[in-house]
Chain A
Amino acid sequence: AQSVTQPDIHITVSEGASLELRCNYSYGATPYLFWYVQSPGQGLQLLLKYFSGDTLVQGIKGFEAEFKRSQSSFNLRKPSVHWSDAAEYFCAVAGTDSWGKLQFGAGTQVVVTP
């Protein structure tokens, strides 16, 4: 069965520092990979996605993620965090034959300190 693991439940980072959120997946083949962000009281917004091709993908709000097949990972990064990046971040996967049926990780809560 496919699964998504986000090892860090909670991360605190200083404004201006770099951020990396980890995501590992278990799936029979290379799935579609996504990162979503959820601000308090809001729905989820897509940050970026990987379908195929270049393993380094750029997203909105200055985020990027790198797909590493050998490690079954899809880690999210941002070089310099802004206070507005405080939110919960979800990694998700979907099989290439099950479009839209996302399997989500448990999420990582990011707190940004001054």
Chain B
Amino acid sequence: DAGITQSPRYKITETGRQVTLMCHQTWSHSYMFWYRQDLGHGLRLIYYSAAADITDKGEVPDGYVVSRSKTENFPLTLESATRSQTSVYFCASGLAGASNTGELFFGEGSRLTVL
């Protein structure tokens, strides 16, 4: 199916465990992003990637690791989950350059609970 998909949609884990949230897009967008959504904060940028093998930190990167070996995938890993990382995580993608409309396309989110 075309679009941007996230998995898992729901995840419960324990403090200290490693968790990976997957993001896959079928548009061949160059840019991909990870945001977290918390009540009262809106969405905050964790990491972003301008192209395969190029990643950079956003506003709240501590405790997270990303990679982008293929254009279509942008996994987010919590190496040792903490309760403060309980949140809803959104992946987004977009096309920069001459075709840039400024629009980001968001996945449906992954709700993570850390006990």
Tell me the A residues contacting B by CB distance below 8 Å: 4, 6, 32, 34, 36, 41-46, 49, 51, 90, 92, 94, 99-107
Q: Please measure, in the bound complex, the distance between the C-alpha atom of A51 and the C-alpha atom of B103, giving whole angstroms.
A: 11
Among A32, A42, A100, A106, which residue has its beta carbon within 8 angstroms of that of B33?
Answer: A100
Q: A107 with B104: in contact, given A43-B109, A100-B33 (CB under 8 Å)?
A: no
Q: Please measure, in the bound complex, the distance between the C-alpha atom of A102 and the C-alpha atom of B103, giving whole angstroms.
A: 10
Q: Which residues of B contact A41 (CB under 8 A)?
A: 108-109
Partner-binding segment picked from B11-19, B36-44, B66-74: B36-44
Q: Which residue of A41, A92, A101 has the most chain B CB atoms within 10 A of its CB atom?
A: A101
B104 engages A100 (CB within 8 Å): yes
Q: How large is the interface on B (under 10, 10 to 19, 20 to 34, 35 or more residues)?
A: 20 to 34
Q: Please measure, in the bound complex, the distance between the C-alpha atom of A4 and the C-alpha atom of B48, giving whole angstroms.
A: 20
Q: How far is the CB of A83 from chain B (nearest CB, A)?
A: 22
A-B interface, 6 closest residue pairs, ranked by CB to CB distance from nearest:
A43-B106, A104-B42, A44-B106, A104-B43, A106-B42, A46-B103
Q: Which residues of A contact B4 (CB under 8 A)?
A: 43
A43 engages B108 (CB within 8 Å): yes
A-B contact pairs, 20 of them (CB 8 A): A36-B106, A41-B109, A42-B108, A42-B109, A43-B107, A43-B108, A43-B109, A44-B43, A44-B104, A45-B106, A51-B102, A90-B43, A99-B100, A100-B31, A100-B33, A101-B45, A102-B43, A103-B45, A103-B59, A106-B40
Interface residues of B in 53-101 (CB under 8 A from A): 58-59, 90, 92, 94, 96, 100-101
